[in-house]
Amino acid sequence: MLEILFAASLVTFIKDDAFEVESCTATPFEVVKSEIPKWPNDAYSTYGFTEFRVYVDESGSVISSAIKASEPTRIFDRVSKRALSGWQFNKSKNKERCFNVKFKFQLAE
């Protein structure tokens, strides 16, 4: 019964005000630990985003990430990559899993 309850909490997509996460293979997952990027001091824009392709090992730790797109270019990349390095996903039997992660930035009015 516990296994069924755990499986019910797994999703293939998460959409939040600050970020979106999608499994590359539609495999159910859970974000166990996440960190929201801090607004960079040198940001001249009031909005933007950074999209990553993220690879996670069987323990759920981020092992690599690559920027797929960002707008404005390079402004939010460093803080996004730093925040992403602290993320933790659920454990898996798969040796490696792939996710698309998008951080969304909007300066509050």
pLDDT tens figures, 39-82 = 988 888 889 999 999 999 999 999 999 999 999 999 999 999 99
Supply the pLDDT for residue 44. Answer: 82
- Output the pTM of the full model: 0.88
The answer to whether residues 60 and 88 touch, using CB atoms and an 8 Å cutoff, is yes
Instruction: Answer whether 56's CB lies under 8 Å from 64's CB.
Output: no
* Per-residue model confidence (pLDDT) at position 109: 65
What are the tens digits of pLDDT across the range 6-50? 344 788 999 999 999 999 999 999 999 999 999 988 888 889 999
DSSP secondary structure string for all residues of 2-46: HHHHHHHT-BSEEE-SSEEEEETT---B-EEE--PPPPPTT---S
d(CA 75, CA 44): 8
